A and B are shown apart, each in its own frame.
Chain A
């Protein structure tokens, strides 16, 4: 069913926000499972992708604020459970929380897979994230034409996260959204960084970086792309060795409930969930009118990282040889 009115467009943008967020926990689990000083190339790739996913959340939030809808982040249900499909997708694959591994990379590649040339926009039950965004872009353009820009872009400029200030550590930058042109530019940045620009392996940023899909493809093939390589040719450059053997053996899809019988571990998991929930609350504040609150989100991110890494060192009593890991659950009491 196509997007026919502004409310439906706003709902779809909220869904986009949930989709972007849904990619972050699996990437963070892989990243934090890599001990410092090992798999440096892989860690750097995953870190750059996860930074850009955070950028995508901001970009979507800017579009939402511009079209008069407040993003909802710090709420039960915003985090979708793992294992599970990407929210609002066609359920064609299951996203899991895994340590850095071949299994994790296969999921990452499915998340970031490029749409086939000519694939239709899909506002519901999308196959690729790109097709979902295409439906949003189409609706945004159509509704702006039908209703007039002043009826669509009703947000306050002060609510927009500005460029060059709070976002760093990854490619691209924040686009403040005030009209159709900037809205489309913001959404294009999201899809270009993910699946590549116009069916190339590049993300279209000035920095000439690979799109996420192809960065992960390098890791799976353990080989780098050369500039002349294409999606079809695959990577033909130098070796890019990875070592799965040194990774923290996190038990897949941690859930705090699984550890109820182990209060000391349960307590540590709850601690992690509360930090993560505090982070969502801080983002909620920042993305609903006070962008400068993003500054204080950063220390919470570090706090979460340290707790996640600590959890990955705790041996799991449920599966000998494995460790516990962060469970990314919303905690009302945070």
Chain B
């Protein structure tokens, strides 16, 4: 078993995509790094990866953490634990304790590689106005950095994650690229259904306020292997050769890409110089030690020998710099448990997700559902606009996997047919007529920073090795609920433009769905709504311009401890509507430059 040796230039807590990309920058410059990872290291061998694939194949519930067996000593929440909160508060069944009033419907993974093992890989940049929401629209807060500040780090992050896209299709709402720059790989080809949507979108229009909004379908940047551009060295699956050098369309990106054509943090780990880092897994950071001078003096961790026993040993590791990259929820937990970095009282607050609003329908003709990556195109038309003074921005993801999590086909179709006493050839025909026509549109909606949405800890809720379980307080404000009403209007306009009659629009919000809630419209009518989690935990240690209302400065460095960095999606002051990993890695690379300056 590897153990920490001596003192390091930097200790990074958490070997997910953010942590390892910082480790890569530091080790490339000859800095000595210790990576502390709470979870298991199975992904570090190709056989270990294939065992994940086997677990996924035999799982009944193909949910995002299905391939990754539960680890009692570094627990994660599984989707089946996210119950409809209307039934019972608090929810105690899973790892995260839900205090409501709504359930936080997203999960993450504590394992080597972090949630990048099960993410979808969608990598859009944020639009410039996302960084100045307060100034432009009078809501939320501004970031301490602008799009222009982050732009060079977006470029680096896209190369680090291996993003496939064509920049000439990505200039939404002021997003710009340097003239000499392009993504490392060509775009993933759009699916057949993307083309069907595009035809409808051209004709669709919707009115908000005094403005009509059109819709366009464009390709979505994705961290999955495609045709490399010049100078980009394509990566194979970790621990083997010639596997996963292109996306193969296995259509299981979430929860696992069997060939690792989709980026995971393991890839970056495999590219790092072993002489400069120590990786210690099964080591849960439990406390940051704060010196009298305010600097962090060490990190205390609990090392468990096996997942079958709650026996552990406590150790302390020391370094010049401490970098907490443990995930928005886990990082907040560690800071709270240490009484660290919280003079602003913002640690754990402003927890946000992108509530994922779904609509679904049957297209008049087959669209080839269930083929390819989860999504290959989007409608970016509502990522920014004057409506943001009134309701939240959203990105529209065009799903490739039929009705997907809306109804869990094809099983749900089989159940329904069986219930109607259909069998044999009739059953096959009815499935064949329905399933290939399934369309599902997902609306990734912005959520404003709200102090009451937060992660807390309590001695009442402890895991088997004595670490805190996260206690989640979560609600969705009217700003976001109103965007769901708008999204439904967009959806109807789109479906109608595609020639779909109302009878073939199946969207429904029932009180037994996990994210059920209602919205009271201006005219007093109460309408039902429902949302799913996007798995985008953000905002729990936001950066800012002032130490009074933020946890870190623009370089993700703690206002309170000059040798502490808190990095990851938790650092985002507002969420925009872009999937956050790319932005988090860009912010982390910006932070890494500051770390190199400190280390000299």
Contacts and interface: CB of A to CB of B under 8 A. Distances in A.
Contacts of B248: 302
A243 to B, nearest CB: 15
A209 B242 CA distance: 11
A168 interface: yes
A332 to B, nearest CB: 29
Contacts of A263: none
Name the residue among A40, A51, A168, A207 with the largest chain B CB count within 10 angstroms: A168
B50 A40 contact: yes
Interface string B38-56: 0000000001001000100
A118 interface: no
A84 B332 CA distance: 69
A168 B245 contact: yes
Interface string A79-97: 0000000000000000000
B54 A51 contact: no
A7 B249 CA distance: 43
A227 B234 CA distance: 26
B241 A207 contact: yes
A37 B243 CA distance: 15
Contacts of B388: none
Given A37-B50, A37-B54, A40-B50, A169 B228 contact: no
A106 interface: no
A139 B506 CA distance: 69
Interface in A28-84: 37, 40, 44, 48, 51
A207 B234 CA distance: 14
Contacts of A295: 189
B50 A168 contact: no
A148 interface: no
A44 B240 contact: yes
Nearest to A209: B241
Contact of B242 (A40, A168, A299, A302): A168
Interface residues of A, number: 17
Interface in A286-334: 295, 299, 302
A128 to B, nearest CB: 25
B50 A170 contact: no
A253 to B, nearest CB: 29
A169 B54 contact: no
Interface in A159-181: 164-166, 168-171
Interface residues of B, number: 15
Contact of A48 (B54, B189, B241): B241
Interface string B235-247: 0000011110110
A33 B308 CA distance: 37
B506 to A, nearest CB: 30
Name the residue among B241, B242, B245 with the largest chain A CB count within 10 angstroms: B242
A170 B242 contact: yes
B227 interface: yes
Contacts of B234: 168
Contacts of B241: 48, 171, 207, 209
Given A37-B50, A37-B54, A40-B50, A171 B242 contact: yes
B468 to A, nearest CB: 39
B50 A51 contact: no
Nearest to B54: A37
| Interface of chain A: mostly helix, strand, loop or mixed | loop
Contacts of B249: 299, 302
Nearest to B51: A37
Contacts of B189: 295
Interface string B215-227: 0000000000001
B242 A51 contact: yes
Contacts of B242: 48, 51, 168-171
Nearest to A166: B227
Contacts of A165: 227
A169 B245 contact: yes
A44 B242 CA distance: 9
Contacts of A299: 249
Interface in A202-217: 207, 209
Name the residue among B50, B54, B189, B241 with the largest chain A CB count within 10 angstroms: B241
A37 B258 CA distance: 12
Contacts of A51: 242
A44 B54 CA distance: 17
Contacts of A209: 241
Given A37-B50, A37-B54, A40-B50, A168 B246 contact: yes
A295 B227 CA distance: 10
Contacts of A166: 227
Interface string A106-140: 00000000000000000000000000000000000
A166 B245 CA distance: 11
Contacts of A169: 242-243, 245-246
Nearest to A51: B242
Nearest to B47: A40
Nearest to A164: B228
B261 to A, nearest CB: 10
A302 to B, nearest CB: 8
Nearest to A37: B54
Interface string B41-77: 0000001001000100000000000000000000000
Interface string A12-41: 000000000000000000000000010010
A168 to B, nearest CB: 4
Contacts of A44: 240, 243
Interface in B225-274: 227-228, 234, 240-243, 245-246, 248-249
Contacts of A37: 50, 54
Nearest to A36: B57
Interface of A: 37, 40, 44, 48, 51, 164-166, 168-171, 207, 209, 295, 299, 302
22 contacts: A37-B50, A40-B47, A40-B50, A44-B240, A48-B241, A51-B242, A164-B227, A164-B228, A165-B227, A168-B234, A168-B242, A168-B245, A168-B246, A169-B243, A169-B245, A169-B246, A170-B242, A171-B241, A171-B242, A299-B249, A302-B248, A302-B249
Given A44-B240, A165-B227, A168-B245, 9 more contacts: A37-B50, A44-B243, A168-B242, A168-B246, A169-B242, A169-B243, A169-B245, A295-B189, A302-B248
Which 7 A-B pairs give the minimum distances between C-beta atoms?
Answer: A168-B245, A169-B242, A170-B242, A168-B246, A165-B227, A169-B245, A48-B242
